[in-house]
């Protein structure tokens, strides 16, 4: 592509301007990820610089967005990551890319904070994706409601998904009060559907044809009004630098304290332990830690290290293989016997229990036995939502999302609390934090940047301390 035809981002002192949209929907399952990833792929393969973000806590959708853009995908959440972090990441991306895409979470107005809150805070025009497979005129009412439910919400237009025919698309377009809002339609075709399982989309890195899937949708999107738009024809947004607007949370923090200097953290990373925020790795590095990755599924042993992080993922899908990791199991036991810390998060914690059972107990796998008890898979969600965890006087923000429950004689050393709540230790509600020797384990997924001190404590820089209750904020 002729570089002269590719618009360059513009900066004006503290702000950076580029084409930007927030891809949202009236509910989950409408095709947000498909459209966001296809739009990113369409422009990236034309030689443009594209960056994508995911609104809210999510490990799975970012896999597809990263596949489409070839760049790390960070989370934006006004509570978990904070406004200042969101602002800084958006401004940094806008300063070096031609198109910025943010994928929303659930329905446009669902959750606190919602995708609409993010759009309103940063002026991100909403591109609404609506599954129209069983509607006609109601499509117009739904589009009008999404656009006007919150006055002043930035708006880009609407795209119909899973459309039956050209005639069907015409009916949908005619239903709109403002014809200029029509950005096109994607046909109802199973080949355009990204595969799912109980926690959400299957990761792009697990499929050999992931890029072919994205290209197939991008080819169809290219024929729509949205796909024919050049970045200069898309909404242009100016992202201000942190601290330049009234009421900004911008911090004046200095250099990151090197609380983990000289320490090596071994991190499990493969299809069984894949729920890792890139920003969390950045935090550990900035704290001075050396990161050493290993794959239990590939038969890797435990690298020489001072601490271990077992992230979340899908141990239930690989329980048989994990049960056979005898050398790694014994190495972890020796690591713990030597008093070296382990932070086990959700799926990582599941792998440490004695047993993991299917929801009907038809299969029971002997796992690594560093925590007493059994984890049993459930047919329904057992935990979901934003959470915070107090360690001493410091609070980690994060979330929980799991389909299993654990039965253990261990008494929780503490519990997480929901945002804005005060949760006594040991009370019902919140996710349990288990402290068993140097093992710290919970269903809680931590956002490390929310507390550098608490993060350092998880990996043993200082002894772990627990408050009698979690602070409200």
* Half-sphere CA count of 169, side-chain side, radius 13 A: 18
- Cα distance between residue 423 and residue 469, in whole Å: 6
pLDDT in tens, 146-198: 999 999 999 999 999 999 999 999 999 999 999 899 999 999 875 556 555 44
Closest Cα partner for 237 from 56, 439, 53? 53
pLDDT in tens, 272-290: 999 999 999 999 999 999 9
Report the alpha-carbon angle 106-108-112, nearest 5: 75
DSSP string, 173-220: HHH-SSGGGEEEEEE--GGGPPPEETTEEPPGGG-TTHHHHHHHHHHH
pLDDT in the model for residue 6? 38
334 pLDDT higher than 70: yes
The DSSP bridge partners found for residue 384 are 401
Taking a C-beta distance cutoff of 8 angstroms, is the pair 31, 185 a contact? no
Residue 429, CA distances (Å) to 382, 393, 414, 433, 436 in order: 12, 21, 11, 12, 21
442 pLDDT higher than 90: yes
pLDDT band at 401 (very low <50, low <70, confident <90, very high): confident
Domain positions in the chain are 13-240, 264-458
CATH of domain 264-458: 3.40.50.880
- Find the mean pLDDT for residues 297-318: 95
pLDDT in tens, 84-141: 999 999 999 999 999 999 999 999 999 999 999 999 999 999 999 999 999 999 999 9
Query: Is 264-458 in the same CATH topology as 13-240?
Result: yes
Among residues of the chain, what percentage have pLDDT more than 90?
A: 74
Q: What phi and psi values does residue 174 have, to the nearest 5 degrees?
A: -65, -20
- Find the mean pLDDT for residues 188-217: 64
Domain 13-240 has CATH 3.40.190.10: no
Structure tokens at 387: 């959470």
DSSP string, 337-401: HTT--EEEETHHHHHHEEEEE-TTSS-EEE---SEEEEEEE-SS-SEEEEEEEEETTEEEEEEEE
pLDDT in the model for residue 68? 94
199 pLDDT higher than 60: no
pLDDT band at 427 (very low <50, low <70, confident <90, very high): very low
Active site residues: 346
Residues 6+ apart with CB under 8 A from 366: 323, 354, 355
pLDDT in tens, 357-385: 877 777 899 999 999 999 998 887 667 88
Q: Can you give the pTM of this predicted structure?
A: 0.87
Could you say which DSSP state residue 41 is in?
A: H
Between 293 and 3, the more confident residue is 293
């Amino acid at each position: 592509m002729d570089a002269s035809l590719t618009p360059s981002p513009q900066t004006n002192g503290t702000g950076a301007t580029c084409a930007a949209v927030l891809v949202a929907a009236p509910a989950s399952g409408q095709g947000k990820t498909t459209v966001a990833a296809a739009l990113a792929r369409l422009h990236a393969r034309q030689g443009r610089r594209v960056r994508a973000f995911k609104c809210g806590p999510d490990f799975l959708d970012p896999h597809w967005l990263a596949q489409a853009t070839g760049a790390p995908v960070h989370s934006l959440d006004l509570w978990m990551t904070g406004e200042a972090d969101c602002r800084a990441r958006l401004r940094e991306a806008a300063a070096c890319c031609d198109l910025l895409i943010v994928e929303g979470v659930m329905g446009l107005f669902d959750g606190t904070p919602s995708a609409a809150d993010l759009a309103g805070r940063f002026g991100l025009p909403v591109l609404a994706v609506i599954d129209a497979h069983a509607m006609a005129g109601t499509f117009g009412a739904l589009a009008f409601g999404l656009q006007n439910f919150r006055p002043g919400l930035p708006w880009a237009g609407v795209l119909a998904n899973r459309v039956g025919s050209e005639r069907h698309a015409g009916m949908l377009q005619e239903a709109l009060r403002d014809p200029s809002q029509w950005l096109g339609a994607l046909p109802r075709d199973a080949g355009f559907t990204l595969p799912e399982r109980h926690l959400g989309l299957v990761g792009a890195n697990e499929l050999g044809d992931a890029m072919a899937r994205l290209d197939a949708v991008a080819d169809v999107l290219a024929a729509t009004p949205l796909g024919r738009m050049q970045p200069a024809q898309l909404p242009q947004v100016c992202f201000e630098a942190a601290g330049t607007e009234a009421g900004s949370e911008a911090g004046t923090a200095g250099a990151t304290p090197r609380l983990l200097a000289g320490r090596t953290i071994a991190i499990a990373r493969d299809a069984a332990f894949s729920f890792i925020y890139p920003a969390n790795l950045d935090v550990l590095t900035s704290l001075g830690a050396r990161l050493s990755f290993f794959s239990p599924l590939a038969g890797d042993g435990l690298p020489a290290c001072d601490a271990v992080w077992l992230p979340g993922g899908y141990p239930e899908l690989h329980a048989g293989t994990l049960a056979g990791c005898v050398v790694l199991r014994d190495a972890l036991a020796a690591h713990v016997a030597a008093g070296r810390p382990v932070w086990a998060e959700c799926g990582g914690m599941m792998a440490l229990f004695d047993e993991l059972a299917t929801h009907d107990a038809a299969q029971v796998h002997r796992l690594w036995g560093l925590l007493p008890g059994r984890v049993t898979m459930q047919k329904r969600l057992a935990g979901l939502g934003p959470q915070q965890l107090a360690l001493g006087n410091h609070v980690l923000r994060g979330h929980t999302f799991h389909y299993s429950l654990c039965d253990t004689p261990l008494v929780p050393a503490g519990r997480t609390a929901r945002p804005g709540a005060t949760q006594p230790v040991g009370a019902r509600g919140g996710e349990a934090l288990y402290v068993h020797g140097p093992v710290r384990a919970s269903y809680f997924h931590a956002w490390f940047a929310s507390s550098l001190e608490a993060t350092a404590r998880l990996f043993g820089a200082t002894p772990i301390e627990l408050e009698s209750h979690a602070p409200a904020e």
